[in-house]
Amino acid sequence: MTLFDHYHDLAAQLMGREDFPLPLPNWDRDYPHNIGLLSDAEESELAAIVLQLTRGMSYESWKALDMAQRVPWMQQAVTKLPPGGGPGRMSKADVLAELASRVQNGTPIITADEVARWPAGMVDEFESTGILRVTDHAKSVACDSCGQDHVEQVQYIQSPPGSELRAYIDCLEIGRVQIPLHRLRQWVIDPARLPAGSKDAMSVSEDVQESATNGQLQFDRDTFTVRFDGRSCELRNTKEYHLLVRLSRRPGIFVSNSVLASDVWDDEHTEKSTIQKTVSNLRRSLKDAGIKNLVLDGTTNKDHYALKLP
């Protein structure tokens, strides 16, 4: 097997494809620095999957590698694929159920990192049918450079005026890290466009009702009630409720105070003490309601919080 074929075989495994049928002459297939002749969309999808599974380098570092240098990283990523296939093997029914669940929980936003798990072409399909609508770039993103799984606020820079827009975050370990703009794309879900007759979409509400007794975290956005392990905690329409919803997007991932200030308070100048008080109030409310297994970790990483589930 040539290097080119090996590269494509690994890419197919990671992206959930049978293969990459390319009608290329043999001499093209022998060029070692061709980076697989993938399309721009395929290249972005592959990079997102490899970085998600390996957590060992930045997107800029990935782009600098030639084909031979990428293969070991792709081999490592393949070994970390979950049973049944990688991110690209998520079925359409699973995607629709996930979208319906997001709407149900009051968080109707899908990010570029999340759609990297979808089958190829599905984003374009959902955009054309109106299920997804492109919205503003993300204000925060998970760092993919240090392996610490922390979320930081994105700094957008366009200097000098008229130059290409660039995005950066401040990593806890590395410092300033550039983020490719394609990772910051976001889409709003239109619930009216979801297939109402879809069994998966319609069964979401039933699944959510069951989740309260199955060790899953459930939010009722109509009553602003949290349910977990069969217990309920009514938080009302408070910052405590919205803080928990924000942290629950990615349990175990540390979110910086600056991101919480922007996402929960819609004010990046929110005082650190205000966030600390809200976290304290939330902990107390959950404890009083008998919900003891939800941990709000604010000590592991300074000025960051994470929701830890059992």
Quote the pLDDT of residue 131: 94
Q: 269: buried, middle or exposed (CB in 10 Å: 19+, 13-18, 0-12)?
A: exposed
End-to-end CA distance of the chain: 45
Dihedral angle of Cα 51, 52, 58, 64, to the nearest 10 degrees:
20
Distance, CA of 205 to CA of 105 (rounded, Å): 10
Distance, CA of 224 to CA of 303 (rounded, Å): 26
Within 13 Å, how many C-alpha atoms sit on residue 86's CB side? 29
Please state, in angstroms and as integers, the Cα–Cα distance from residue 150 to each residue in 91, 144, 227, following that order: 28, 9, 26
Residue located via tokens 């290329």: 24
pTM value > 0.75: no
| Phi, psi angles (nearest 5°) of residue 255 | -115, 130
Domains annotated on the chain, with CATH: 3-79 (no CATH), 87-189 (no CATH), 212-308 (1.10.10.10)
Other C-beta atoms closer than 10 Å to the C-beta of 126 total 24
Q: 187: buried, middle or exposed (CB in 10 Å: 19+, 13-18, 0-12)?
A: buried
Q: What is the pLDDT of residues 39-93, one digit of tens each?
A: 666 777 788 788 777 766 666 678 788 888 888 888 888 887 765 555 545 788 8
Quote the pLDDT of residue 286: 95
Quote the pLDDT of residue 201: 41
Cis preceding-peptide flag for 160 (omega within 30 of 0): yes
Quote the pLDDT of residue 18: 63
Low-confidence ranges of the chain (pLDDT < 50): 22-34, 88, 199-215
